Structure formats: structure tokens, C-alpha cells
Amino acid sequence: MTDRKKIAVLGGGISGYGSAILAKKQGFEVFLSDRGRIADRYKSKLEEWAVPYEEGGHTEARLLDAAEVIKSPGIPETAPVVQRIREAGIPVISEMEFAGRYLDGARCVCITGSNGKTTTTSLIYKILRDAGVNAALGGNIGESFAYSVATGRYDWYVLELSSFQLDGMYDFRADVGVLTNITPDHLDRYGHCFQNYIDAKMRILRNQGPADCFIYSGDDPVIAAELPKYDLRMRQLPFTARTAAAEGAGAHLDGGRFTARLGDRSVAVETREMRLSGLHNAYNAMAAALAALAVGVDPETIRRSICSFEPVEHRLEPVREADGVLWINDSKATNVDSVWYALESMTRPVVWIAGGTDKGNDYEPLKAFAREKVHTLVCMGLDNAKLLRDFSGVIPEVVSTASLDEAMTAARRAARPGDAVLLSPACASFDLFKNYEHRGECFKQWIAEHL
């Protein structure tokens, strides 16, 4: 018979180690298991807290002896060990679900979406910190949410949530939920069914009541089609640019200025005063402004913080201008919609570097911008067949390369003074790199060494 005080943690990354330490602090008997190697910095923390762990494989008997399993978001449901745990009837939850039980009065702003969530999360966190709010940053970025709950005392948690983290949430509730957009992504993890992915994203609404706020894109057709399916009892705050201005609460972009309004408080921002550029960042800023109003930050602090916010690393990050060519690192653009916003924001002729591990992409939405703005596409991946097929005849020059060095050399050869070289891959990075951060760092390192 399993002991109700036994917790098993699957995965020893940032999510797993934080969950294990929180479980230990709460008096559970904890065991952490990772199929791969656990980073030294996480091992030292586990040892400091006397949490038993294993790496290089799973001892299933110990996992199946747990009353509950906390699964790291990177582990798919299809993993054999997860399936065996489920077959044994053991509940599998996320770090968010577990940490949410021990908030002790603290509240959460939770941000999800296919694109823009990292920038929006970082911007909300900056606004709250600038306003003197005792806030922590966590989820997909920052420190482990569970570790922050275990070791700190905060009034607000600002959490970036992936669909994988939302999948394992049941009783957790976002006091302020933000949904930036929903476009096809991670379909390989959702049975190549877009609706399954949509359902995961819509879990941001779960358990919200009249005291809570739901901030969402009023221009997103997928969200618009989904909302009638839900019993929406929370306060709804849409942000829009393409549709008519929302009446009452919400935010709207009109020309070069947006206004965000909640109750009797509002903040107006001139987008030309922002360090973030492009339509996608106007959306991100509107969402952040509404979230900050919902937390209670004064409008002038919100305006100042938005205007002083620097772009997030690996997201349309200008790296260097050399010989009249601007090199831009957009390695975080791992899906088609992210690249759409990147190309939309380009004001120079473009040499576009794309490719990697395809996630079931449909490149059709990119073709209009590709025809208009891109004169050379450099495909960088171990399998470029789909990119070559979709963009041959759309972009004048399409080049296939199988390494970063080959791709960068080809881009340098194609670029002319006045151009931009844009790394915006539309794909995951796992064929040639550890992750999108590694891809972006390699891009920047090559530029530092060669230009």
C-alpha cells in the first residue's frame, strides 16, 4: 500500500529540483528520478536539502510506490514510465499544481500563449518590481516556482506557463490569467491535433471566478471561437488592434498609441516611445499594462516601465551592424506565428535563416511577407526538404545548409549593405543545438568571431 506522504518527482531540471525541495520542506518523503544526467547545480541543491535522487534511468518500483508524481514539463505523456504510472492509478501533476497548494495568501499572474509569453511575462515582472511589489518570476523563465515558494515569501508570482505545464494543473487558479494568442505549435506532443493543443492553452481559465481577471487577444480568431464553449465568470479584458476599440475595460491600439483601461484607471502609451518595436510587441505591452492594472499598479509607473523595457534576449535581438548589414537574433521564434511577426516588423530587405526540427509547420501564412521582404532564404538544418519545397519560387534565392557555419557563411555572402540578416527559424533547435538559447548564443558568437 502506498504511503500518502510519498512524492516522486520525474525529471531533475529546474522544475523537478524545485518541486522536490518544496515537497521535502512540506514534510513529504521525496524521491527524484531522471533518465538523463542531472546538472551539477541542481544536484548540489538536492544534496543540500537531503533529497534522494537517481540519474541515468528510472527505478520504477520506487516511482510506483508514490502517492503522487510531479512530472517535469519536458517529459511527454507518451514516455513509457509515465504511462506505467498512469496505469497504476497514481495522479500525475505539474510543478504549478503542486506549488500552488502552498502559496499562503500570495497571488499569481499567469501568462501563456503560442507567442509573446516570455516578453509579456518579463515586462509584467519589471512593471511590478518597478512599482515596489514583492514579486517573484517563475514558470518557464526565472527561478523554479516551487523553489521560490519553498525558500521565499512573496505577494505575487509572475509565471510564464507552457501548454505542458497547464496540462498538469487541476485545482490551481490564476488570479490574473493572460492568453497572448493560440497558433499551431508543439503538435508533435498533441497527436498532431490542433484542437488538443488549443484545449491545453485554454486551461489558463481553469477555476477562475468573479474576483479574477482574464486578459486575452481580442483579435485572435482561435480564442474567439473557443470562448463561447466556456462559462466565463471572471472579469474579461481583451486587447485589440485589428478590431474596433473595446468598450469599457480592455486595451486598444489606435495608430501609434494604445490605451489600457480597467475600472476608473487607464494608461496611454505612445508606441514610438517604446524600446520594443513591431505589432507583436504592441500586443505584448497592452497585455502587460492590463495585468499591471489588475494587480493595482499606478498608471504612470506602468507607462514608464513599458517605455524603458529592453527586448528579451533571442527575440528580435539586434546583435550587430557590420558593413551596412544588421544581424538580428530571433532564435526564440520556434513556430510559424513568431516568424510572421518577425517578418512583419522588418523594414530592410531580408536574408532569412530558418530551419531545424519541424513541428508540423504550415508555412503558407509566411509566403506573402516572404515574397515582399525576403530576397534570400538560408535553410539551416539536417532536413531542409520542406522549406526548400515551400519557398522555392516564392523567394528568389533559397540555399540549403547543414550547419551553423555553412548557414552564416551563406547569409554573409548573400547580404548587401542596407539588408538585415534575420535568424528566425520557425522550428525547434534539437537537430543541431541543445535548445533555442544555445542556437542564439552560437549565432552571436559566430558574429563576434567573424564580423
Could you give the residue numbers annotated as active site? 117, 140, 186
What gap in Å lies between CA 302 and CA 248, rounded to an integer?
19
Q: Identify each DSSP E strand in 208-249 by its residue range.
A: 213-217, 235-240
Contact (Cβ atoms closer than 8 angstroms) between residue 22 and residue 28: no
What gap in Å lies between CA 318 and CA 422, rounded to an integer?
9
User: Residue 430: helix, strand or coil by DSSP?
Assistant: coil
- In which residue are the cell numbers 538585415 written? 420
In 3D space, the residue among 280, 316, 283 whose CA is nearest the CA of residue 425 turns out to be: 316
> Helix, strand, coil shares of the chain as percentages rounded to 5?
40, 25, 40
Question: What are the b/e assignments for 279-314, b being 16+ CB within 10 Å?
Answer: bbbbbbbbbbbbbbbbbebebebbbbbbbebebbeb
Contact (Cβ atoms closer than 8 angstroms) between residue 218 and residue 246: yes
CA 272 to chain centroid? 25
